[in-house]
């Protein structure tokens, strides 16, 4: 029992839960309490080993965010080194008159090794080391950290919009979107912390310079005035101890500054630094060949160090030749012939040779084939599967598969999206670039190829991938070519979903409903209503962006109303009223407040009379009236969009269908409802009234 209690007491210490407070207490103790020379040797050795470990960890980490604890570690290591400086300064000033071993073997060894009997050389070496650390490494790392923090914070809105765009187009799910948002927040916190932590490194370098002069001047005064040392003895003892102490502190400081610089200059891609440097520096054999030729030419000049230059030129030439041979060997690997390359005997034409038209097709130029080829790392197929899944779940029926093929009639970087053999969308893209889309408010211009987003028609620029973070910082939404095609396909499928709902899909919906509500489907088709009429009602709903997921309510309403009026338009009106909660929530969310746009009563009466006369074949809508009404509706919808609210026009039931068709393609953001489609629990707020 006592052993268990003791283990419970010691466990938090072993697990590291109170490790940080213990370290801080130890640092304070080192500053306040005098340390023996042996303890100083041990702590200085530990400090060097810790700094080396941190630098190697920053080299081998695959991604900067994987070393997110670096700013805290950097602060602790800096405090440790400063505490050691205070402890060593105390012992140098108190015991320096006894000899060069007063502050321990580590400081003495570093001082003897560097000075070598010459104090001037020692000071010069120390000064060079301080200049390298303070002016070159520390200042550069600090500047990079500042710029990285600023660009990371500025690019956050663009990255968030890119995640929302991928989520809305079905390229990612909610879990992946949440992970990517968390990664953005972690990246912002990390670079913000690095911006502050780099100031510790800079301050540490300044402190090292000040401590050097304090030890040297103070020790010389103490040795001469208090301990009656000669000038030469005081200079020997305190110069050696001061330079040794400075070197022992500056070497770990230089290692930490280098680690900070390496970490903030890393790319965000997960890749080993060694592989990244070698892969990008020595990929092209021409680089080594030209370098070897120049070095070899310099080695042939009389008076130059011929042997080192010629040896280096020979090594570079051998490396270049090796790379060329490897590339030739890789290019010479035979490719197995495809089935189309194998000659076959021609046979007679049959009905089997007439393949049906694909419901959905994606045709690409030959330069875009790697995007859809899994063997070449293409990810477009997986994204299209994600789009099909998302749209199918949202609309309530299974979207047919997308048939992808190459088309030599297209331009090399062009693609077409077809439905039942008809082209509904096409565009030209640049596979080696990224698209920067202007969402409406950006803060600068970009170098690239001006274009338009094929899905929504927004202004866009094709930029080099290296400009991605710069473009995001200016407010652009940056996407890759896979996302451009996938978003375009998603937009077309959502807009023309009603064309994809055939009788086979309707029958499958009824079969699935029969498994959970057999009595509801029994006798419906064909006794009560033909299958084509149900298909027409469902198509009408999809055409006006109303999901058919609640198939049970839809079929119940159709079954009830079909005996009274089997007309598909009348059944659609009744079904929309039954789905009122779902329709309003789809457009306006769960808000109780419903902002609506209405028509002037006089204008409604004119439209009703005109429609009745048109149905009897006697009149039609006046062009001037139609133009003015369309203009006023468009302005009202734009004002609603500027406020961030949904644009909903509410009219009489007899006008709803006609007005919906009237504005469907010209004002796509305006949703048309009838008064009987508004649930009773919604609070209506009229935001605009459109007159003639």
The enclosing domain of 529 has a CATH number of 1.10.8.540
pLDDT at residue 3, as a whole number: 47
Domain assignment present for residue 662? The answer is yes
**What pLDDT is recorded for position 340?**
44
User: What pLDDT digit, counting tens, does each position of 634-655 carry?
Assistant: 888 888 888 878 889 999 888 8
250 part of a folded domain: yes
CATH number at residue 631: 3.40.50.12790
For residue 337, tell me if it sits in a domain: no
Residue 342 in any domain: the answer is no
Give the residue numbers spanning the domain of 469.
355-496
* Residues 318, 364 within the same domain: no
- Tell whether 553 and 413 lie within a shared domain: no
- For residue 334, being part of any structural domain is answered with no
Contacts of 412 (CB under 8 A, 6+ apart): 365, 366, 367, 368
Boundary (domain end) residue, out of 496, 524, 551: 496
Is 598 found in the same domain as 520?
no
Overall residue count recorded for the chain in this entry = 692
Q: Tokens standing for 250?
A: 């500056």
Q: Are residues 521 and 592 in the same domain?
A: no
Residues 251, 137 share a domain: yes
Based on the fold, state whether residues 44 and 165 are members of the same structural domain: yes
* Whether residues 77 and 54 fall in one domain: yes
CATH at residue 404: 3.40.30.60
Phi-psi region of 73 (alpha: psi -120 to 50; beta: other; left: phi over 0): alpha
Residue 333 is assigned to a structural domain of this protein: no
pLDDT of residue 218: 78
Q: 467, 496, 525: which is the final residue of a domain?
A: 496
Q: Is 534 contained in some domain?
A: yes
Beta-ladder partners of 461: 436, 450
* Separation between Cα atoms, residue 591 and residue 213, nearest integer Å: 70
Q: Residues of 10-31 as b/e, b for ≥16 C-beta within 10 angstroms?
A: eeeeeeeeeeeeeeeeebeebe
Residue 275 lies in a domain: no
Contact 568, 541 (CB under 8 A): no
Q: Say if residue 407 is in the same domain as residue 382.
A: yes
- Identify whether residues 471 and 526 lie together within a single domain: no
Read off the tokens for 618: 């006697």
Q: What are phi and psi of 674, to 5 degrees?
A: -100, 165
Interatomic CA distance for residues 251 and 185, integer angstroms: 34
Ranges of the chain whose pLDDT falls below 50: 1-15, 336-343, 617-619
Report how many domains make up the chain.
6
Q: What are the strands of the beta sheet with 593-599, ordered from one edge?
A: 670-674, 647-651, 593-599, 683-690
- Same domain? For 606 and 647 the reply is yes
Listed residues 496, 517, 538: the one ending a domain: 496
Crossing angle of helices 37-60 and 273-281, in 10° steps, is 50
Q: Which tokens belong to 548?
A: 């058919």
Identify whether residues 6 and 50 lie together within a single domain: no
On whether both 428 and 556 belong to a single domain, the answer is: no
């Amino acid at each position: 029992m006592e052993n268990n209690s003791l283990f419970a007491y010691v466990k938090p210490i072993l697990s590291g839960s109170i490790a940080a407070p213990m370290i801080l207490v130890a640092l304070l103790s080192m500053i306040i309490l005098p340390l023996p020379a042996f303890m100083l040797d041990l702590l200085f050795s530990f400090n060097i080993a810790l700094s080396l470990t941190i630098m190697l960890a920053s080299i081998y980490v695959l991604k900067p965010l994987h070393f997110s604890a670096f700013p805290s570690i950097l602060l602790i290591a800096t405090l440790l080194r400063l505490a050691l400086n205070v402890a060593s300064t105390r012992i140098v000033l108190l015991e320096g008159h006894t000899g060069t071993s007063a502050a321990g073997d580590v400081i003495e060894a570093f001082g003897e090794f560097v000075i070598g009997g010459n104090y001037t050389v020692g000071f010069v070496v120390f000064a060079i080391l301080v200049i390298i650390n303070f002016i070159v490494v520390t200042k550069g790392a600090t500047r990079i950290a500042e710029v990285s923090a600023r660009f990371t914070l500025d690019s956050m809105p663009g990255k968030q919009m890119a995640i929302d765009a991928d989520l809305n187009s079905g390229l990612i799910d909610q879990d992946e979107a949440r992970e990517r948002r968390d990664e953005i927040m972690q990246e912002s916190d990390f670079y913000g912390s690095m911006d502050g932590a780099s100031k510790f490194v800079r301050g540490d370098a300044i402190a090292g310079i000040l401590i050097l002069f304090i030890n040297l001047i103070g020790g010389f005064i103490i040795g001469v005035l208090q301990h009656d040392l000669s000038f030469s003895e005081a200079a020997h003892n305190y110069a050696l101890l001061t330079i040794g102490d400075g070197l022992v502190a500056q070497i770990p400081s230089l290692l930490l500054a280098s680690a900070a610089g390496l970490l903030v200059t890393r790319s965000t891609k997960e890749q080993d630094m060694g592989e990244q440097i070698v892969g990008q520096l020595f990929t092209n054999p021409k680089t080594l060949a030209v370098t070897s030729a120049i070095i070899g030419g310099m080695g042939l000049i009389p008076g130059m160090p011929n042997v080192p230059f010629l040896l280096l030129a020979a090594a570079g030439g051998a490396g270049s030749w090796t790379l060329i041979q490897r590339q030739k060997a890789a290019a010479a690997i035979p490719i197995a012939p495809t089935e189309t390359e194998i000659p076959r005997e021609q046979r007679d034409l049959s009905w089997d040779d007439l393949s049906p038209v694909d419901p959905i097709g994606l045709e690409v130029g030959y330069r875009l084939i790697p995007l859809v080829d899994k063997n070449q790392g293409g990810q477009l197929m997986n994204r299209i599967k994600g789009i099909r899944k998302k749209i199918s779940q949202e609309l309530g029926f299974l979207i047919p598969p997308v048939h992808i093929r190459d088309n030599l009639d297209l331009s090399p970087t062009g693609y077409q999206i077809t439905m039942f053999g008809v082209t509904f969308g096409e565009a030209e893209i640049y596979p080696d670039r990224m698209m920067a889309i202007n969402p409406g408010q950006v803060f600068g211009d970009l170098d690239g190829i001006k274009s338009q987003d094929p899905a929504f028609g927004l202004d866009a620029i094709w930029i080099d991938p290296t400009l991605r973070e710069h473009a995001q910082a200016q407010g652009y939404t940056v996407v890759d070519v896979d996302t451009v095609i996938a978003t375009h396909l998603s937009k077309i499928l959502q807009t023309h979903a009603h064309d994809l709902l055939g009788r086979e899909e309707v029958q499958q919906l009824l079969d699935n409903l029969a498994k959970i509500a057999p009595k509801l489907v029994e006798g419906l088709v064909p006794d009560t209503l033909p299958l084509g009429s149900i298909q027409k009602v469902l198509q009408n709903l999809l055409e006006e962006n109303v999901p058919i997921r609640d198939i049970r309510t839809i079929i119940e309403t159709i079954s009830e109303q079909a005996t009274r009026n089997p007309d598909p338009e009348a059944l659609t009106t009744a079904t929309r009223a039954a789905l009122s909660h779902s329709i309003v929530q789809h457009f306006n969310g769960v808000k109780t407040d419903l902002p609506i746009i209405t028509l002037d009563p006089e204008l409604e009466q004119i439209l009703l009379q005109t429609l009745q006369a048109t149905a009897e074949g006697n009149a039609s809508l006046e062009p001037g009236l139609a133009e003015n009404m369309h203009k006023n509706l468009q302005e009202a919808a734009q004002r609603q969009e500027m406020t961030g609210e949904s644009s909903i026009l509410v009219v009489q039931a007899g006008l709803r269908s006609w007005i919906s068709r009237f504005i469907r393609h010209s004002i796509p953001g305006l949703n048309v409802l009838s008064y009987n489609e508004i649930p009773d629990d919604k609070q209506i707020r009229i935001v605009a009234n459109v007159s003639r």
